Amino acid sequence: MANTKSIHGEWSSRFAYILAATGSAVGLGNIWKFPYITGENGGGAFVIVYLGCVLAIGIPIMIAETMMGRRGRQSPINTLTTLSAESKANKNWHFLGWMGVIAGVLILSYYSVIAGWAIAYVFKAVFGGFSSDAAIVKASFDGLISSPGQLVLWHTAFMIATMSVVMRGVRSGLERAVQFLMPTLFALLLILVAYAMTTGSFYFQGLTFLFSPDFSEIDSDAVLTAMGHAFFTLGLGMGAIMVYGSYLPHGVSIVKTSLYIAGADTLVALLAGIAIFPLVFANGLEPGSGPGLIFQTLPIAFGSMAGGWLFGILFFVLLVFAALTSSISLVEPLVAWMVENKGYTRVKASVMSGIFIWLLGVSVAFSFNIWSDFTIFGKTIFDFLDYLTANLMLPIGGFCIAVFAGWIMMQKYVKNELSMPEDQYTIWKFLVSYVAPASVFLVFLHVVGVV
């Protein structure tokens, strides 16, 4: 079995895979979410906890998840069925694949609404909507999110974009889309960082906020958020990297590629923070102002710099693309499963899943305005879905993946798939069998107040 190919095709090269997987990892999580949750949780100490989680939990699990995908060569649900049969384990493990599919659907439903904000901002930039006045910029953001019609319109546009890439398949859809988007995004971020550096003393205030830790700011909920974010930003725990791994040619090193991907993802998040916090302080804004943070800061920068309208357009276009290279990986597990098990064409599978997710997304769009009073466990639909997926489902999914790779799969298969030097293998094996699951478990115990 180890030599079979996926029925959906394969990446054309190692580089194509790195781009696609980096595309899945780098997204709204890095540029939109990382800055605002860092702002809400007091800065430096939160960043350190998040970086620790990426290293000790995220990377070992990324290696495990990719390895399982390449060995199983199918959608995560069927991969888990195949792998548990191969290792003579309980076949209920395929429910882990289902949980991932559900998490992907729920994440995409709100991800698409936020990506819609970014599309709206492309148009704001084109029509000169940015200003050096923080109050005007804030009013413009409030105007957008209080309009159900606009939010649904942009959410619809983003869902159509996502599904039209997915329906074209692995090579002509996913791979072609990421090839030019990723390098350009990186270049733009560097330009923004350069601009932030010109804001003088605020530059240092921004850096201090981001990098000097004050651990009194951290409670168990902040630790949970940091850990959840490590999963979210790396795209782990729901089968996205597993399904991408199933299209990975043999002979490509999973360990090395995982290190590149995690490294690039972390770098982009830190750069986004370095670009945004100086602007927050320079304009007297509140770092903890929530999901609107980048939409209320960056337009000020673009509104005050020479040629800012152009950079503004480019930046938000690229933010949309970064979101797009992630959103396709969020539905790919579901679409691949529908093709495998229902015999649907990719087009039919994409249209059906797209419509369903779009409907859910409409309720998320309403949760910012007409349904803002409707709450589940005291949270709006958006806040609830974000908490449920990023803080609970992804860490639980990641925990189970670590247990599966570390304890359930027969080690000869794991070794065969990873083909890494013995000493590195020992380190990874220890991290994935003990450190990663125990850390996730401890954080959960801490949150419910047991330790």
Scanning residues 199 to 238, which ones bind ligand PHE (CB under 6 A)?
Answer: 232-233, 235, 238
Contact letters for ligand PHE, residues 10-39 (x by CB under 6 A) = --------------xx-xxxx---------
Counting Cβ atoms within 10 Å, is residue 55 exposed (0-12), middle (13-18) or buried (19+)?
A: middle
Nearer to ligand PHE, 282 or 393 (CB): 393
Q: How far is the CB of 216 from ligand PHE (least distance, A)?
A: 28
Report the alpha-carbon distance of residue 441 to residue 451 in Å, rounded.
Answer: 11
Backbone angles phi, psi at 376, to 5 degrees: -120, 125
> CA of 25: how far to CAs of 124, 190, 368, in Å?
27, 18, 26
Q: How far is the CB of 192 from ligand PHE (least distance, A)?
A: 18
Nearer to ligand PHE, 168 or 229 (CB): 229
Size of the site for ligand PHE (CB under 6 A): 15
Q: Supply 19's token pair.
A: 């781009």
Nearer to ligand PHE, 235 or 354 (CB): 235
Task: Give the residue at shortest CB distance from ligand PHE.
Answer: 29
CB 276 within 8 Å of CB 195: no
Contact letters for ligand PHE, residues 237-276 (x by CB under 6 A) = -x-x------------------------------------
> CA of 41: how far to CAs of 142, 183, 265, 284, 385, in Å?
23, 31, 20, 18, 19
Pick from 324, 300, 357, 318: which is nearest to 140 by CA? 300
DSSP classification of residue 368: T
Half-sphere exposure of 220 (CA within 13 A, CB side): 13
Q: How far is the CB of 302 from ligand PHE (least distance, A)?
A: 22
Residue showing tokens 């309208």: 309
Q: How far is the CB of 41 from ligand PHE (least distance, A)?
A: 17
Contact letters for ligand PHE, residues 311-340 (x by CB under 6 A) = ---------------x--xx----------
Q: How far is the CB of 188 from ligand PHE (least distance, A)?
A: 16
CB 42 within 8 Å of CB 63: no
Q: How far is the CB of 231 from ligand PHE (least distance, A)?
A: 7
Interface ranges with ligand PHE (CB under 6 A): 24-25, 27-30, 107, 232-233, 235, 238, 240, 326, 329-330
